[in-house]
Amino acid sequence: MKNLLLVAGFLLIALNTVIGLLLSVYSSFNFLLVDFCLLTTTVLIYIFSNSNIADGFKIGLTLLFAVLGFIKVICGMFAPQIYTDNLYIIFLLLIFGFEALCVIAAFAMKKFS
């Protein structure tokens, strides 16, 4: 099951890359941003599925990371192709920060459970 998550994530990345290369309306900035979002979500879910933290944390954080990953993909698809004054990228960075905080908190709480 753990490897299935990893394979599915990398298949989504490959599919997004092929679509990005074939469609001229899907800019390279956007499909690379979506690839990065898919990669980070896949890695986070894989890390938690292989960790030895409590099952409640695994289930809850996997579901949370999947929902946040979907939100990141949608934001990445519609983000403007500029770096300055890009609220979508700021929102993505806030989500990444929240995910990092969840990872740190889950592994810190592992000591107490």
Q: Are 31 and 57 in contact (CB under 8 A)?
A: no
**What Cα–Cα distance (Å) separates residue 82 from each residue in 27, 58, 86?**
12, 36, 7
Tell me the two tokens of residue 82.
């500029």
Query: 17 lies in a domain?
Result: no
Give 22-52 pLDDT, tens digit per residue.
998 989 999 999 999 999 999 999 888 888 8
Query: 40 lies in a domain?
Result: yes
Q: Are 79 and 47 in contact (CB under 8 A)?
A: no
Query: 20 lies in a domain?
Result: no
Confidence of residue 2 (pLDDT cuts 50, 70, 90): low
Kindly report the pTM of this predicted structure: 0.90
Query: 8 lies in a domain?
Result: no
**Which range marks the domain in which residue 35 is found?**
28-109
Query: 85 lies in a domain?
Result: yes
Question: What single string gives the DSSP state of each residue in 5-71?
Answer: HHHHHHHHHHHHHHHHHH-SSS-HHHHHHHHHHHHHHHHHHHHHHHS-S-HHHHHHHHHHHHHHHHH
Domains identified in the chain, total number: 1
Query: 48 lies in a domain?
Result: yes
Query: 3 lies in a domain?
Result: no
Confidence of residue 113 (pLDDT cuts 50, 70, 90): low
Query: 38 lies in a domain?
Result: yes
Tell me the two tokens of residue 70.
């979907």
